[in-house]
Every structure is written in structure tokens, then in C-alpha cells.
Chains A and B, each alone.
Chain A
Amino acid sequence: MDDKADVWQGTLALMVLKTLETMGPQHGYGIARRIEQTSGDRLIVNYGTLYPALLKLEQEGYVASAWGVSDNNRRAKFYRLTRAGRKRLAAAAQEWERTTAILARFLSGETS
């Protein structure tokens, strides 16, 4: 089976992209908070682990970053989804749904 770290990294990246699509441009802390909330506080243990993942997404061109000012006037680095990122998100989401569906059929023991 896949290496656990890779799976988590892949899903984390997906969650980041989805969060940015939903929330619009956001800083690292905000993304971390939001993911935590959405997953029902069951997922990320350390916020810092987000940053290497954000860097990877930026290297691949799916997000872009710029320094800005937050709600409460703190200087923060904001990330936003790019066009490529949007497309990637759509494709990845589709893949996940397909995988889940196939797996669901196996696990429920149904035959077509």
C-alpha cells in the first residue's frame, strides 16, 4: 500500500486547495484553522507541517503567494489559488470520488 506520509501529503494538498477555493486568498494560519474546523478537529496536529506543503504547491504553480495585511492589522503571507490550481483541484476531486466509489463497492461486497 502507499506510504502513509505520501497519502497524507497528497490529501493535505487537496484540502489546502479546496480551502483556498472556498475561502479565497488566505494566510497559512487561517488555512490551518479552517482545515482543522472542517475536519471536525480530528486532523492536523501541528500547524507548522502545513508550510512545507504550501511551498510544494507554490513550486508546482498551483498557488501563488504575496505579503499582505490581515484582518487585525498583522503582516502575513497570503496564498491564493491559480488557474492551474483550480483545474488541478477539480481533477483531483474527481479522482477521489471515483476511487471512493470503487472501494465502496468492494467493501460492501456488492456485485454488479
Chain B
Amino acid sequence: MRFIRTVGRRLGAIFGRSRRDRDLVDEIESHVQLHIDDNVRAGMSPAEARRHALLKFGALESIKEQYRDQRGIPLLDRLAHDLRYSGRLLRKNLGFTVIAVAMVAVGVGVNTGIFTVLNAAAFRRLNLPESDRLVTIAQTFTGKVYRNVHGMPSLASYSEYRAYRDGTPAFSGLLAYVPYVEVTLGGEHPEDLVGTLTSCNYFDVLDVRPAFGRGFSPSDCSAAGASAVVIVSDVLWREAFSADPAVVGRTIVLNRTSFTVIGVAPPNFNGTEAITSAFYAPVTMQPALMRERVFPHGVLSDDNLSWLVLIGRLRPGVTIAQARADLAVIAARADLQHSGRVTHLSLNPATLASLPEVRSVVLGIGVVILASVALVLLIACANLANLLLARATTRRREVALRLAIGASRGRIVQQFLIESLMLAGIGGVAGSLLSFWGSTGVVRYLLAHLPGGSPSFEFDVTPDLRVFGYALGLTVMTGLAFGIAPALRSARTDLTAALKQDDDRSGPGRAGRLRGALVGLQAGVCAVLLVACALTTRVLIRSQTIDVGFKTEGISVASYDLAGAGYTAAHAQSFQRQVIDRLDAVPGISRVVPAGTSPLSNNHSATEFSSPTGEQAAQLEFTNVAPGYFRLLGIPIVKGRDFSDDESRGGTPVAIVSQSAAARLWPGRDPLAATLIFEKKTAVVVGVARDTQVSHLGVPESPMIFFVDTADDALHNQLLVKANLGAAETARAIRRAAAGLDPQLVINVGSLGDNLELWRAPARIVSALAAVLALIALVLACTGVFGTVAYAVTRRVREIGIRIALGADAADVLRLVMKQAMRPVMIGLTVGLVSAAAVSSVLSSLLIGISAHDPLSFSAAALVLSGSAIVAAYWPTRRALQVEPTVALRHE
């Protein structure tokens, strides 16, 4: 009780401080006066009475301080005082404050911005009711595994889903879905749509009610094809149905199948993925909607096919561990059916990137970028530390005075740290605000300017508590990082030296060494970023200038989904022949060649090939192409011949292999007429084509097997069309020809150059990012060098003047100063290059065709950094040398 009362009084004393101070002064004065009166009465003279009274009272300031400590809360008092003092100091040196705040703002802002995006992608829970109870389930298999995969291996089969759903009491509901299902929307203007196949409890488990109509009911999923119903998204409702309020009951045609609309999803609902979903259909409608892949056992009934994403809602109070235990029991039972196989389950809170394959990619990229921007922040901190160290030296006298009066060294450290934290705080707040506003804008811009053919995304980057926490933590750490060195250094001030203004110690010596070390740190980190920039720039240049080995001008690629439209193989064959005939008749179109995949389309299949006359088997990519493919693309056949028209009509399967494929399977031997064995089939090699980069950009040796295009392939083919009409006119001609045969078929036409661009885009983005970071780092590092040299030179003006007066050559002095200035830079540069060599393998997945230790890049980085540092050091030195020796000698 007493304690509470005391604390209350002390807290209350924070207010009305000046009144209480006056009160105390009055009381002390009254005390002393009373004492003087007594003394005078006892016989002393007034002067002596006063002196005696004051003596008996004690050390006035010390007692006042004791009193104040007792009165308030000393910690808060000191804090408030330090804050006010720092504020005044920052306001006085506005130029310095602005620069420092700007540096911190840029550093913290960029870091927070990147983290905001990473948070939205990988850490933030979904924007659904009670989404912290939603958990994604992934399976990994070890041992003897034979698994069919559509999408990612960690997905589940339909039977596995039902077993988990019915046998796990830990979940109040378990849903399954297939993301990114591409279908064709029929109607007057057929177009491609992307939607989701879901289990019928999807909306129930997610706890979302459709805006109109109803959700799915269990009967909708009772059997394959049972219920052709669909729930459309808010956007599709507005676009395809003009926001008709009576939309329930109307029909839409998806993949030539009629679906009844039973509901409209709420606005701003996009399921659990980032890709925009235009519709939600029962998973049992899979045969109609997912026709682009042919699976041997059918999709719904294949127990061994990975294709469904599973998300469960935990019951209140149930932990993830309990849920995993429940699921493990069922998985073990399933493993009994597949002897030698062990299923491992991983449960993660549902985010936009909770599947293990997605998560590893997102986090992998995210962490690398975050580390890079953290390095930039580190340089900024080193710079600021140097600046503050220089300023601390100017304030030595002030600090010495305070120490002399009785401040403890801890108090000095505290005050300096408060200053740095204040600077960091202002910069951190400014940077965070910039980043919140900036990241939303940047993300919106990027999503609106994705390369053609990309799906559309919904990505919300509003900051949440985690982002604020990160920004706060980063700001505090930044403030401590650049503030600790000057604070500790100030506390160690030698009183006598400081008070005497003895300050000729700015070259060698402890202070100079610390500043040099900081410059070295900046140089090293800058070197790492410059190396990354050089490497990625080289990759960019290479990808832009590389000769891919085949022609791309004037060639368009037309793709269409015949399987999804319900064509049979025979129908597809007839369609293909007729389209080609029509296109051949168009003036300006010189050649049309069907092929399974177009070059650099990134959807080649691979399988194991072997040969009875060859060496060991190899996993190689393959595709099917018609005769004329090689002539169209300008790929020479170096041995043997191209396919003949007869061979494409049927008969013995034949193949053409690329040079590196031949070298892999028949090293040193002639591959012509050899037999290829693959997937229990055979083919005869009739020709060898020159190596080109049809499969991967930047990899000159792409082993590739080309099969002759036969009638059966027509169902899944694309058309390569060479024309001199220009891209737009060619596309129109192709669509016209196809529409004449089937007006409901959606034809996607792109140029072959687009495929190339898609491969180049990542290199462009990464090198742009690396260049920006490297540039910021270089500017910061050079500013640091400039500042340190300028500061050092100013303090040594007198020394320089003496040297010159004694007859030293200006060039010699220049050399001396520059050598001393560049020493830490060169040491830092070396260390930086070594570190860069150690970590550059992190980027190796991007560095197509360039070694991670490319000597040209490393040398370029070293040259740029040392060159810039020399210029930064030369400038202030030259200015100092231009000062007249007489003036210099008189400099204080």
C-alpha cells in the first residue's frame, strides 16, 4: 500500500516539475535564512553567518539532485532530459540530421518493403474467417515410390483425400482443390478462363457464404460428372453476366460442357491462392474440365496420383501435432498397400505459400533479396557511425565538462545512444511509411505489367503486426549499431587532453583505426554487391545477345486446346490438316509446321532413353515435330536427313537426335540407323541435328530427341507459322482459318520471340535489382570514403602545411595521404571479393552460362570500387593541398 502510494506520488511529480523546483529552491532559501538568523543571534557577522550556514547545508547541487531523484522516477527523468537535449542538438545541426535520417530511411525502408512482400507471400495467414485454424497438408514419400504427378509431388490423390477427410477427428472439416484449371469459356466470344476445382465442402470449411445462391452440397460430389454446377467469382459475374441479379439458374459453357450457375462468390474472395480464380466447380467435374493431360487410370480413380491440395480446419483447442498424429495413422494404413513406401506428413499454417515446393522457392528468393538489402543497410550504418565518430570528436570538450562535473560514464553512453536511437527512430518511421506506400504501388505496377500469357494475381501487401515489428526491431538495431561506437568512444574521453583542446590525433592512432575499419567494412560489403551486379549484368547481356541456334523472326506460334474441346484423335488430325491447308493458301504465309512443343516453351517432357548399340541410358527431353521443322527454324541436319512425309503418315517410328544427345547415348560412334528404346517403345535414328537452345536458354548443349509428328499427335500439337505479314496480321489470319472450322475454339497466338523474352525476363529483373542495390552501395561507400578523407585532411591541414613549407613536393604529400586513405578500402575490397566468391554459388541457378566465379565480373567490380574510392579520396586531398602553407600553419 505504501509502495503504491509512493509510486503514485513519484509519477505525479512528473507534472508541474518547474513549480516543484521553485518550491524546493524556496524551501532551501528559507532554511539557510533561518540558519543565518540563528548565527547572527549567536554573534557572527552577517557575512560569516551566511558562509557558515551554507557550509553546514552541504553541497547544494548534489542535494538538489538527490532530492529530485527521490521525487521523480530518475530513469524517466533522465530519459526525458536526454530526449529533449538530443532533439535540440539534432535541430541545431539540421544538415547532418537530414543526411543521417535520409540514409536510415532508405536503408530501413527498402528492407521493410522487401519484408512486407515476403510476409504477404509466405507468412501472413489467409484473408478468411479464423484463418489461423487452417492448415495445409503435404505428403512426402520415401522408400519404394512410384507416383504419378500433376502439379507437385506433395499433393494428394482423391482416395487419399477422402480417407483423411473421414478419419481425422482433429479437423472440423478437410477440403481439397485443384488450383489453376484452364478451361475455355464458350459463347459469342470464346476465351480462356482460369478457375478452381474444389471439394463440395470447400465453402463450408473456409466459412464463406456465397453472395447469391448456394454453396455446394454433398450430392454435387456424389459421382464423377454427377452435377454440372458452378459457382462464379464476383468478377466473372460482372463480366459474363453483366451483374445480373437473377444469375442463379443460368448456364455457362466450359470446355464445351454446359454448367448451371448455382451461386456467386462474395466480392474480394479468391479462395486460398494468389492466382485469380474465375469459377469454382465440384472436383467430380474433373473429366470435363481437366482434359489437357491423359492419365492412364483416370484422375479421380487413380489412388497414386498427386493432384489435390488439402487444407483442414483444426477444431478449437486441437494442436497441429494432434492433427498430424491422426493423419499419420491413416497414411500408415495406406502405406500397407504400397510395400516399401513410407508417407511423411507436413502440416503448415495455411498461407499463400504453404506447400513445401512453393515455400522453398519463395523463401529461397526472399531470403537472398532480404540479405542483399540488409547489406546495404549495413553500409549505411557504417557510414553513419563514421559520421557520428567525427562529430563525437568535435564534442569532446562538452563531454569532458560533463564528466568533470560529475556525470557517470554510463550516463554519457546513455545520452549518446538516445541521440542515435532518435535519429534512427525518425529515419525508421520515414522509411517505413515510404515502404508501405511504395510496396503497394510497386506490386500493383508489377502485377499489371506481367509478361503476356501470365495468369492474373491477387496479392495484398498491406502491412500487419509482423511487418511493424520487423520495422521497429530493424530501426532499434540500426540505431544501436551506428550509435554504440561513438557512444563508447565518447565515454572514454581523456579529460585533460579534451579540456586542453589537444586534438592532433586524427591520422593514425586508435580513433583513426576505428574509422578506417568502418570504411573497410563499407568497401567489403560494397564489393560483394558489385560482384553480384556484375555477374547478373553479364548474364543479362549474354541472354540478350546469345545466338540460340534457330531463327525467330517472322515465326508465330499458335496453340489451342483440342483435347479440352472434346476432340477425338481422328477429329484433331482432320482439323490440323484442314487448318494447315487453309493457312498454306494465305499469301504471305510461307510455311506451317505442326510440333508438340515450340522452342523455349519450357514444357518439354523427358524420359529415359537407351539403345542396344549404345552406352548407358540417359534421361533426355523429347518432343515431336513434323518434317520441315528444322528447315523452318534454320537448324541444319549435320548427319543423315530430315523426316519424310511418308514417315509422318505412319510406319516405323523414326527420330532425329541432337548432337549432344548422340554424344550422350553413342559416344564416339555413328548414331545413324541405331535403335532408340524408351517407355517400352522403339524408334530408328535417321538424322542428327546441330545443337541448339530449343530447351533452355544459355545452355549450348541441349540434348534433345525429336520424334516424327504422327497423326496421333494432332490432339496436343501447336502450329509454327512462318509469315511476312507482321505479327498482328498473321494472328488474324490464323484465327480466321481456325474459326472457319470451329468458331468456338480459342486460339492463342504469340511470336517465337515471346518465348525468348520469357526466358530473359528473370535475368532482366534480377540484374536491375542488383544494379540498383550496387549503385546505392557504391554511392554510400564513396560518400563514406569522401567524408573520412575530408575529415582527416582537415585535421591535418597544419601538418600538411609544415610538410610543404619544409620543402615536400605536393605530389608526395598527395601520395602519402591517398595511400593512408586507400589502405582500409583495399583491405576491405579484398575481403569482400573473397566473401563474394564464397557466396556467389547462391546465385548459380540464375547464372546460366556464366561461372559463379567469373573472373571478368570480379575484376570489373574491383576496378569500379577502387576507381570510385580513389576519386572520392582525391578530391578533398587536392583541395587541402591548394591551401597556402602560411594559412595552413595558422590553422587551429
Interface residues of A (CB under 8 A from B): 27-30, 32-33, 45-49, 51-52, 55-56, 58-61, 70, 72, 74-77
Contacts and interface: CB of A to CB of B under 8 A. Distances in A.
B62 to A, nearest CB: 8
Contact of B63 (A27, A49, A61, A76): A49
B27 A47 contact: no
Interface string B36-75: 0110000000000000000011111001001101110000
A55 B58 CA distance: 17
Nearest to A58: B9
A47 B5 contact: no
Given A28-B31, A29-B34, 8 more contacts: A27-B34, A29-B35, A46-B58, A48-B59, A48-B60, A49-B58, A51-B63, A51-B67
A106 B57 CA distance: 39
A47 B35 contact: yes
A59 to B, nearest CB: 4
B28 interface: yes
Contact of B31 (A47, A56, A58, A72): A47
A55 B37 contact: no
B66 A49 contact: yes
A46 B63 contact: yes
12 contacts: A29-B30, A45-B58, A46-B56, A47-B57, A49-B66, A52-B67, A59-B9, A61-B2, A70-B34, A76-B30, A76-B31, A77-B26
A86 to B, nearest CB: 15
A70 B2 CA distance: 31
B73 to A, nearest CB: 12
B6 A59 contact: yes
B602 to A, nearest CB: 77
A76 B34 contact: yes
A29 B5 contact: no
Nearest to B2: A60
B70 A61 contact: no
Interface string B1-17: 01001100110000000
A37 to B, nearest CB: 12
A48 B63 contact: yes
- Greatest chain A CB density within 10 A among B24, B31, B35, B60 is at B31
In order of increasing CB-CB distance, the 10 nearest A-B pairs are A46-B58, A48-B58, A48-B63, A59-B9, A29-B34, A52-B70, A48-B57, A76-B30, A29-B31, A52-B66
A21 B825 CA distance: 76
A110 B5 CA distance: 44
A81 to B, nearest CB: 16
A49 B63 CA distance: 6
Interface in B559-610: none
A74 B33 contact: yes
Contacts of B66: 49, 52
A70 B33 CA distance: 11
Contacts of B69: 52
Contacts of A47: 31, 35, 56-58
Contacts of A59: 5-6, 9-10, 70
A79 to B, nearest CB: 11
Given A46-B57, A47-B57, A52 B63 contact: yes
Contact of B30 (A33, A45, A77): A77
Contacts of B60: 48
A30 B27 CA distance: 13
Residue from B27, B33, B38, B60 whose CB has the most chain A CB atoms within 10 Å: B27
A15 B63 CA distance: 19
A62 to B, nearest CB: 9
A108 B38 CA distance: 44
Nearest to B58: A46
Contacts of A32: 31
Contacts of A76: 27, 30-31, 34
B267 to A, nearest CB: 61
Contacts of A75: 26, 30
Contacts of A61: 2, 5
Nearest to B57: A48
A61 B30 CA distance: 23
Contacts of B33: 74
A8 to B, nearest CB: 13
Nearest to B7: A59
Nearest to A73: B37
A46 B60 CA distance: 10
A16 B34 CA distance: 18
Contacts of B6: 56, 59-60
Contact of B59 (A46, A51, A72, A77): A46
Given A46-B56, A52-B63, A27 B5 contact: no
B27 A55 contact: no
A19 B548 CA distance: 103
B58 to A, nearest CB: 3
B37 A74 contact: yes
B56 to A, nearest CB: 5
Nearest to B30: A76
Contacts of B58: 45-49
Contact of B27 (A28, A33, A46, A60): A28
- Among A47, A48, A70, the one with the most B-chain Cβ atoms within 10 Å of its Cβ is A48
Contacts of A46: 56-59, 63
A75 B26 CA distance: 9
Given A29-B34, A48-B60, A76-B34, A56 B70 contact: yes
Contacts of B30: 27, 29, 74-77
A29 B57 CA distance: 10
Contacts of A74: 30, 33-34, 37
Contacts of A49: 58, 63, 66
A43 B58 CA distance: 14
A48 B34 contact: no
A56 B72 CA distance: 11
A76 B23 CA distance: 11
A60 B296 CA distance: 87
Contacts of A55: 67, 70-71
Nearest to A77: B27
Contacts of A51: 24, 27-28, 63, 67
Nearest to A75: B30
B9 to A, nearest CB: 4
A74 B35 CA distance: 11
Contacts of B56: 46-47
Interface in B648-702: none
